Amino acid sequence: MTAIDPVTMARDSHVPTHKTKKTDWLGLGIVAVLGLVVVVPLVVVAIWAFAEVWRYPSLLPQEFGLRFWNATLARPDVWGAMFLSIRLSVTVTLLSAIICLPAAYAFARLDFPGRNVLFLSFLASHAFPKFGLLVAIAGIFLNLGLISTFWGVVLIQLVGTLMMMIWIPVAAFQNVDRAMEEAARDAGAGPLRVFWSVSLPQAAPTIFAAVLLSFVGTFYETEGAWLIGAPEIRTMPVLMITFINNQIVVQYGAVLSVLLWIPSFIALMFTRRLVGSASFAKGFGV
């Protein structure tokens, strides 16, 4: 089986089948339904974020304004959670890159005993229901005094990034052009120099996408932070859940949602190609 990019599949086919100029009504119908289901809930949140007064049963808010943005951004708990979330995500992503990227290179390019079994065991770690695993880890952390600490949450979230930070970069390192490396070696470059000037630049865009996905994934990670971090470590998603549950002011949640979604939007811009590729799905065993 070869990897087929669905985007290119959809755009140009090698076998000319039913090439008609007719409007793709089926496609437009799907777009309409998906648009309604996928986009409308988010639009509603965006409207709420800028609504000052919105009483039932008016279709649109009676008053628009930025009052609740000021109110939300004036809350110290919001800033506390924001800085904590950023600090956690940066720490986890850096640690993850330091330990996973060399491993990914080794899995992709070096031959060593147990290579396949070890690589498979990383992919297989997805085969356990994650929340049950978190509870099992929490049981251990309780004895180690890591519950409700920064480093406890770092460790839990680090485990969550392992798979993505190994499996995507492995593919990146395998796709490096060998001929270019050999040419550089023939020209007298040492192995480190070849790695730094030839292999790494080629693999870099995909690795960057993996790092970005890990950062964003960690930023939004809720389960581990909630289970291991409570009550001391309150990250943005955890704060958001408390806002939803306590229903203090509807707009707080809306403003936070819009703010929180920004990192995700950046990730969307940069990683769409990677996520759309078939090899991404192949990592899940299809």
Partner 1 sequence: MTTLASPDRSIRKGGQAKRHGRGLTGLLLVSAPVMLLGWLIIYPIFNAIGRTLFVKGDAGVRFGFDSYHQFLTDGYSLSNLWLTLWVTAVCAALLMATCLPLALYLRFAKSRVAALVQGLALFPMFVPSVILAYALIRTIGPNGAVDLVLNAVGLPKINSPYLTPWGPIIGLVWDNIPLTTLMLVAGLGGVSDNAVEAARDAGARHFALLRHIILPQIGNAMLVVLSFTVLSIFSAFTLPYVLGPASPEMMGPFMQRTFSQVLDTRMAVTQAVITFIICAGFGAFYVRSIAKNREARR
Among 74, 110, 187, 262, binds partner 1 (CB under 8 A): 110
Report the C-alpha gap between 168 and 283 in whole angstroms: 8
Among 92, 153, 184, 274, binds partner 1 (CB under 8 A): 274
Among 78, 84, 108, 184, binds partner 1 (CB under 8 A): 108
Among 84, 97, 170, 207, binds partner 1 (CB under 8 A): 170
Smallest gap from residue 190 Cβ to partner 1 (A): 15
213-225 exposure pattern, b = at least 16 Cβ within 10 A, e = fewer: bbbbbbbbbeebb
Report the C-alpha gap between 96 and 98 in whole angstroms: 5
The residue among 279, 205, 277 whose CA lies nearest residue 9 is: 277
| Amino acid at the residue 266 | I
Q: Which residues pair with 51 in a beta bridge?
A: 64
**Which residues, numbered 26-45, are part of the site for partner 1 (CB under 8 A)?**
26-28, 30-31, 34-35, 37-42, 44-45
Minimum CB distance to partner 1 smaller for 68 or for 167: 167
User: Based on C-alpha coordinates, what's the Rg of the chain?
Assistant: 23
- For 52, the 3-state DSSP assignment is strand
18 binds partner 1 (CB under 8 A): yes
Minimum CB distance to partner 1 smaller for 74 or for 110: 110
Among 84, 100, 184, 233, binds partner 1 (CB under 8 A): 100
**Which residues, numbered 55-74, are part of the site for partner 1 (CB under 8 A)?**
56-59
Report the C-alpha gap between 62 and 48 in whole angstroms: 11
Report the C-alpha gap between 111 and 235 in whole angstroms: 41
Question: How many Cβ atoms from other residues are within 10 Å of residue 236's Cβ?
Answer: 25
Smallest gap from residue 257 Cβ to partner 1 (A): 5
Interface pattern 222-261 for partner 1 (x via CB under 8 A): xx--xx--x------x--xx--xx----x--xx--x--xx
Contact range with partner 1 by CB under 8 A, out of 66-74, 75-83, 84-92, 159-167? 159-167
